[in-house]
């Protein structure tokens, strides 16, 4: 870091009377952790997003504590505490469902989040002796294992707004990096030399976008400028860590904004190369409209506290490339649903090199997409049976999106909306499945004819 650790600069200390953070805004669990550390003679600060969010009047998502107690010392202090992380150990203190993350101050340098593959279940190893390892070629920080003091810890943080320390000792805020002023002017600014910080951890580029989208801050020129230039550094990041970041960008209620900003900064092609290529050719086509409608829809659900799933989002984001690949297979004779399923596999396999899509998302996504042609069958018992298919709901929601964005006839979506609201008898009449005298469903004959017409039923992108 470009900041010396000896002769470290003193923080500006903002007294309790001069900032808006009051204890009533801090979760009781986090307060317990802070007080218990303090009572045991340690320093204890709230730090990171929670301080920032409270200062700007948002409700924090979680509370992070920083302390000079070592992970072992933290573990001994709390009954329900486990150590996680391989590269760097963190303590998770549990109170019922709530977890307070407690990190020991780190010496000079950089942080990096726990490895994406760290889990709660993994016992932490003893840290190797003090060391920090950079990759010689890329400058990326590979290992950082030193504990330090608060005035060393601050320099490893990413943005100035994330480096405010709330001291439980006297309720003051310690600001080493001008974070208070940046929060006031709603500016996102990397601590230190931006290019060096992005090279150390390219995920910081995605974090910049995320905070811009979430907080409505603007990115300071020096912090913004290198992003487009360094975007390809994200190729070094493991797909599992990118999946984490993807979820934070797209499943927290500001996905549409995140998407626009990723495009603007040239980062979408790092996360979704096939989608970005598709959008470059047809910036206002069906796929673009579907993405925008799908993200808006997801954001709305998040704000209404309704469940959202990454599988639906992956379908929305990959629909352009998948339907193009499906169309090719369809034209060479595959049945529509089969063509889509195979196309989904092909596109997901490519996509997995960037963001790893777990099978628990990719399998239902493929199924939901492959069901789309079935909406064209609106006669006979099988049409009705579709409504009780376990994946019907998701497939129907996707159909509605497609209709909204021009990849499906709105009359088809309307028909399925209406039929779900009818009493059972009416439903049967509607599909012609009220039994005739022979017991033969009235729709049977017509169903046969539709097969010849299935060419129309492949969901194809508008060209």
Closest to 102 measured CA to CA, from 78, 126, 130: 78
- Compute the least distance from the CB of residue 206 to ligand ATP, in Å: 9
Q: How many residues form the binding site for Mg ion (CB under 5 A)?
A: 2
Question: Binds 111, which of ligand ATP, Mg ion, none (CB < 5 to 8 A, cut-off by type)?
Answer: ligand ATP
- Compute the least distance from the CB of residue 219 to Mg ion, in Å: 19
Residue 332, burial from CB neighbour count under 10 angstroms (0-12, 13-18, 19+): exposed
- Residue 61 or 446 with smaller CB distance to Mg ion: 61
Contact indicator for 34, 21 with CB cutoff of 8 Å: no
* Consecutive H or E run containing 293: helix 286-303
Report the phi/psi class of residue 40: left, alpha or beta, with left for phi > 0 and alpha for psi in -120 to 50: alpha
Q: Which stretch binds ligand ATP (CB under 6 A): 106-114, 232-240, 281-289, 337-345?
A: 106-114
Question: Binds 92, which of Mg ion, ligand ATP, none (CB < 5 to 8 A, cut-off by type)?
Answer: none
Write a three-state SS string for 337-402: HHHHHHHHHHHHHHHCCCCCCCHHHHHHHHHHHHCHHHHHCCCCHHHHHHHCCCCHHHHHHHHHHH
Query: What would the x/- binding string for ligand ATP be over residues 10 to 49, using CB under 6 A?
Result: --------------------------------------xx
- Residue 11 or 321 with smaller CB distance to ligand ATP: 11
For the chain, give percent helix, strand, coil, nearest 5.
55, 10, 35
Question: Binds 321, which of ligand ATP, Mg ion, none (CB < 5 to 8 A, cut-off by type)?
Answer: none
Residue 336's alpha-carbon distances to 450, 454, 460, in angstroms, are: 13, 8, 10
- Compute the least distance from the CB of residue 50 to Mg ion, in Å: 6
Is 342 a binding residue for ligand ATP by CB under 6 A? The answer is: no
Contact indicator for 148, 106 with CB cutoff of 8 Å: yes
- Residue 54 or 336 with smaller CB distance to ligand ATP: 54
- 183 vs 49: CA distance, rounded Å: 11
∠ at Cα 293 (287, 295), nearest 5°?
100
Query: Binding residue for Mg ion (CB under 5 A) from 14, 44, 49, 461?
Result: 49
Question: Binds 157, which of Mg ion, ligand ATP, none (CB < 5 to 8 A, cut-off by type)?
Answer: ligand ATP
Is 245 a binding residue for ligand ATP by CB under 6 A? The answer is: no
Contact indicator for 369, 254 with CB cutoff of 8 Å: no
Closest to 373 measured CA to CA, from 279, 254, 454, 290: 454
- Compute the least distance from the CB of residue 194 to ligand ATP, in Å: 12
Is 337 a binding residue for ligand ATP by CB under 6 A? The answer is: no
Q: Which stretch binds Mg ion (CB under 5 A): 44-52, 210-218, 240-248, 307-315?
A: 44-52
Query: What would the x/- binding string for ligand ATP be over residues 173 to 202, using CB under 6 A?
Result: ----------------------------x-
What part of residues 46-65 is at the interface with ligand ATP (CB under 6 A)?
Answer: 48-49, 61-62, 64
54-68 in b/e form (b: 16+ CB < 10 A) is bbeeeebeebbbbbb
Is 111 a binding residue for ligand ATP by CB under 6 A? The answer is: yes
Q: What residue has token string 């929305």?
A: 316
- Residue 40 or 252 with smaller CB distance to Mg ion: 252
Q: CB within 8 A of 67, min separation 6: which ones? A: 37, 42, 43, 44, 45, 74, 102, 103, 104, 105
Catalytic positions are 62, 64, 158
- Compute the least distance from the CB of residue 64 to Mg ion, in Å: 5
- Residue 48 or 71 with smaller CB distance to Mg ion: 48
Query: What would the x/- binding string for ligand ATP be over residues 131 to 170, using CB under 6 A?
Result: --------------------------xx---xx-------
- Residue 183 or 368 with smaller CB distance to ligand ATP: 183
Q: What residue has token string 């009047």?
A: 57
Instruction: Kindly write down the DSSP assignment for every residue of 234-267, as one continuous string.
Output: GGGS-HHHHHHHHHHHHSSS-HHHHHHHHHHTT-
Q: How many residues form the binding site for ligand ATP (CB under 6 A)?
A: 15
Is 114 a binding residue for Mg ion by CB under 5 A? The answer is: no
- 378 vs 384: CA distance, rounded Å: 8
- Residue 107 or 442 with smaller CB distance to ligand ATP: 107
Q: In the bound complex, which residue of the shown chain has the CB atom lying closest to ligand ATP?
A: 49
- Residue 61 or 456 with smaller CB distance to ligand ATP: 61
Q: CB within 8 A of 51, min separation 6: which ones? A: 21, 164, 165, 166, 173
Q: Which stretch binds Mg ion (CB under 5 A): 46-54, 111-119, 359-367, 383-391?
A: 46-54
Binding interface with ligand ATP (CB under 6 A): 48-49, 61-62, 64, 111-113, 157-158, 162-163, 201, 203-204
Binding interface with Mg ion (CB under 5 A): 49, 62
């Amino acid at each position: 870091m470009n900041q010396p650790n000896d002769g470290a600069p003193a923080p500006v200390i903002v007294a309790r009377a001069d900032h808006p953070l009051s204890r009533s805004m801090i979760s009781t669990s986090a307060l317990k952790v802070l007080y218990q550390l303090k009572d045991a003679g340690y320093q204890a600060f709230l730090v990171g997003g929670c301080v920032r969010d409270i200062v700007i009047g948002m409700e924090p998502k979680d509370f992070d504590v920083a302390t000079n107690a070592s992970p072992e010392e933290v573990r001994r202090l709390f009954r329900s505490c486990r150590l996680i992380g391989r590269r760097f150990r963190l303590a998770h203190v549990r109170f019922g469902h709530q977890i307070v993350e407690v990190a020991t101050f780190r010496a000079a340098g950089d942080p990096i989040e726990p490895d994406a593959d760290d889990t709660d279940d993994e016992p932490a190893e003893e840290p190797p002796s003090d060391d920090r390892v950079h990759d010689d070629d890329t400058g990326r920080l590979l290992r950082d294992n030193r504990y330090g003091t608060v005035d060393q810890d601050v320099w490893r943080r990413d943005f100035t707004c994330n480096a405010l320390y709330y001291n439980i000792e006297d309720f003051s805020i310690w600001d080493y990096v001008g974070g208070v002023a940046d929060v006031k002017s709603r500016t996102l600014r990397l601590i230190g030399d931006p290019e060096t910080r992005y090279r150390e951890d390219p995920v910081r580029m995605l974090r910049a976008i995320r905070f811009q989208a979430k907080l409505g801050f603007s990115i300071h020129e020096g912090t913004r400028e290198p992003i487009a230039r360094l975007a390809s550094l994200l190729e070094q990041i493991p797909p599992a860590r990118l999946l984490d970041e993807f979820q934070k960008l797209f499943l927290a209620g500001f996905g549409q904004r995140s998407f626009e900003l990723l495009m603007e900064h040239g980062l979408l092609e790092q996360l979704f190369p096939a989608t970005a290529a598709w959008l470059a050719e047809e910036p206002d086509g069906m796929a673009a409209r579907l993405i925008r409608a799908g993200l808006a829809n997801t954001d709305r659900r998040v704000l209404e506290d309704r469940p959202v799933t990454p599988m639906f989002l992956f379908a929305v984001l990959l629909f352009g490339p998948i339907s193009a690949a499906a169309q090719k297979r369809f034209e060479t004779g595959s049945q529509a649903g089969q063509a889509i399923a195979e196309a989904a596999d092909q596109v997901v396999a490519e996509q997995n090199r960037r963001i790893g899509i777990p099978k628990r998302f990719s399998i239902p996504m493929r199924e939901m997409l492959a069901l789309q042609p079935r909406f064209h069958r609106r006669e006979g018992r099988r049409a009705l049976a579709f409504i009780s298919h376990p994946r019907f709901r998701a497939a129907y929601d996707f159909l509605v999106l497609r209709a909204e964005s021009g990849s499906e006839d709105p009359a088809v979506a309307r028909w399925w909306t209406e039929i779900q609201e009818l009493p059972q008898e009416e439903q049967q009449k509607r599909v012609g499945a009220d039994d005739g005298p022979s017991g033969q469903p009235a729709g049977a004959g017509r169903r046969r004819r539709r097969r010849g017409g299935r060419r129309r039923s492949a969901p194809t992108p508008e060209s």
